[in-house]
Each structure stands twice: as structure tokens, then as C-alpha cells.
A = this chain, B = another copy of it.
Amino acid sequence: MLPLFRVTDVNQFAIGVDLGGTNLRASAVAVDGRVLEDFQISTEAQGGPDHIVQRIVEGVREVNEGHTGSELIGVGVGVPGLIRLETGVIAKAPNLRGWEEYPLKQKLEQALELPVMVENDANAAALGEVWLGAGRDVNDLVLLTLGTGIGGGIVCDGKILHGWLGMAGEIGHVTVDPHSPHICGCGNNGCLETESAGTAIRKMALQAVEEGRSPALAALLENEGQLTPLLCAQAADGGDPAAREIFEHVGWGLGIGLAGLINTFNFPLYLLAGGVLAAWDLFAPAMMREVERRSLTYRNTNTRIEKASLGNKAGIYGAAYLPIQAAREPRP
């Protein structure tokens, strides 16, 4: 359990922002974990980084003014990309056009005159789950976000594990099957992501249709125009053997990956989040079977593998926790 402030401090709060879409989601959270307010910051679709920073500054000021009597101690921003930690510059963000090399931390700090922390969104989500979510009772966990790809966040002793250059947690690109025919964008084959992420589900479903193995998936493709993981899950729920096999494969890959993490970290908790989680009942049995088989540590301990609980709020709350944690750290 992360340490909480004493009652005398509860008038302090922080704001977390998710830099993930056109309209930014944000929350004001008190240092004791009470969510004071979830809010949105709307931006122009074509606005560049400077425009969006300006809107964040206005949004933060507005929310701050609504909480007179409380002290805003800082702002955290979750970003779908690689951050240079010391400077808060966005080093890589394939899905955020125009933000690479942008000095986000510096710009926000200058405008707000408050400490600002910038963090990778998967890392922020892991921290959020430890602070207020399914990981509230632990200090160490790994969070896997199962979306189009697979993102990872590692919290070790209550703090995000960044590694040397902030690139730790690329668990979606850990090899789970070196013989796999599935090629990954990273140049590897058999990454966890190529076996168990949303894109993998779609590709396997299309292959089943092409090979004439699934009339059910073929009908869905015909009706809907494309095969989403959700549609594939519907077919599996309806009993289609090819669709069921796809989710068995998803669980198989996840189980190999999780067993490796458990053997490596011996953490008490591993959380799964993201859209593919909706198919838990379809992939979890195969996943747990592989984990049982491939981790002596798992078989001999009460290690838990569970669903994350904060949904898309995890990254926002985790971002809000960053300036709170920084304020509490002993200065070096």
C-alpha cells in the first residue's frame, strides 16, 4: 500500500492529464486519494502542441479556482510515447503528430508555475492502479494493457521502473514463441503482441476466414466490413470453434509472457487492462493453464493475476500521483 499523507495534508491535491486524444481527459485528486473532480479539456482537432498546452493551462487554472481552500501542488501528464525523464521532453510518440522533441514539462511549468511531471501513459496507468485501483494493497505489480498492441508498466517498491533510458516495460515485445510465423512491427517474430493483442486477434480471424475455417467469422466480416476483436469474441461466445481457438492462442501467449514475468519479478500481483479484457472468459482459462505449467513460483505462492479496476482512469490518476510522490520523496 502506498503511504498516504497525514490528515493535515488533505487540503492538497494534484491534477492528472491524459494526452491521448482530441479531448483530453483529466482529474483532480486529493493527496489522500479522494477524486475531487473528473473533467475534460477540449481542444481544436487541428491544434498543435502549443495550442494544447495553452488549453491544459487554462483547464488547470479553472479547476484550481474551483477548489479554493485547497492547494494544487502539481500536475502530471500521461503521454503515449517515450519520455526523456530528466527534461520531460517527448522523445518518441508515433501516435501524437507534432509532439516529438516537444519540451512539454518545461512549457507547462513556465505557464503554471507548478511542478509538472511527464510520464509514459502505460507507466502512469500501472502507478494509478497501485495508488487507487486493483493494486491498492501492494507496492509491486506489472500492468499489461491489452489493446491494439500490448503496453506494459512496472511498479517496483511503489515507484515506476523506468530503466536506463525510460524504455522499461516493453513487455509487448518480449518473445513468447521464437518459431511463430507472426511478424511484429518491431522486426521480431513471436512477440507477446503478435500472439495476444487486438491486432493479432484480427489477423488470426481474417486468416480463419480466408482459409474457410469459420463460416461464423466470414458472416460477421460480410455484415460488418471488418473483424474487430469484439466481433471475434462474439463468434467465440456463440461457439464458433475457429474463434474460440483464437482466444485460446491469445491466452497461451499471455500465459507464457506472464509466467516469465512471475519467474523474473516474483511480484504479488499482475494486472490486465485494455479492450481485449472484455474477452477474459475466453482467454483466461488457457492463460492460467500456461502460467501454472510454466511458473513454479506461481504454483508455490499466492501470486495473483487479475483484471485492473480503473479502466481508462488509471493513467490519469497515476499521472496525478506523480507530483504527489515527487513532493514526498526525500531530496537527494
Contact = CB atoms under 8 A, between A and B. Distances in A.
A188 interface: yes
Interface string A247-265: 0000010001001110111
Contact of A296 (B156, B187, B295): B187
Contacts of A294: 173, 175, 178, 188
Given A156-B161, A179-B179, A264 B174 contact: yes
A273 interface: no
B330 A170 contact: no
Nearest to A174: B260
A249 B319 CA distance: 44
B170 A264 contact: yes
Contact of A168 (B176, B256, B264, B299): B264
Interface in A37-95: none
* Chain A interface mostly: loop
A164 B259 contact: no
Contacts of A256: 175, 178
Contacts of A181: none
Interface in A176-215: 176-179, 186-188
Interface in A102-125: none
B165 A266 contact: yes
A287 interface: no
Most chain B CB neighbours (cut-off 10 Å) among A167, A175, A301: A175
Most chain B CB neighbours (cut-off 10 Å) among A156, A188, A299: A188
Interface string A302-314: 0100000000000
Contacts of A252: 178
A264 B179 contact: no
A164 B330 CA distance: 24
A181 to B, nearest CB: 13
A296 B268 CA distance: 29
22 contacts: A140-B163, A152-B264, A162-B266, A163-B265, A164-B266, A167-B266, A167-B301, A168-B266, A169-B264, A170-B264, A170-B297, A174-B260, A174-B264, A176-B178, A177-B178, A177-B179, A187-B293, A187-B296, A187-B299, A188-B259, A188-B294, A260-B260
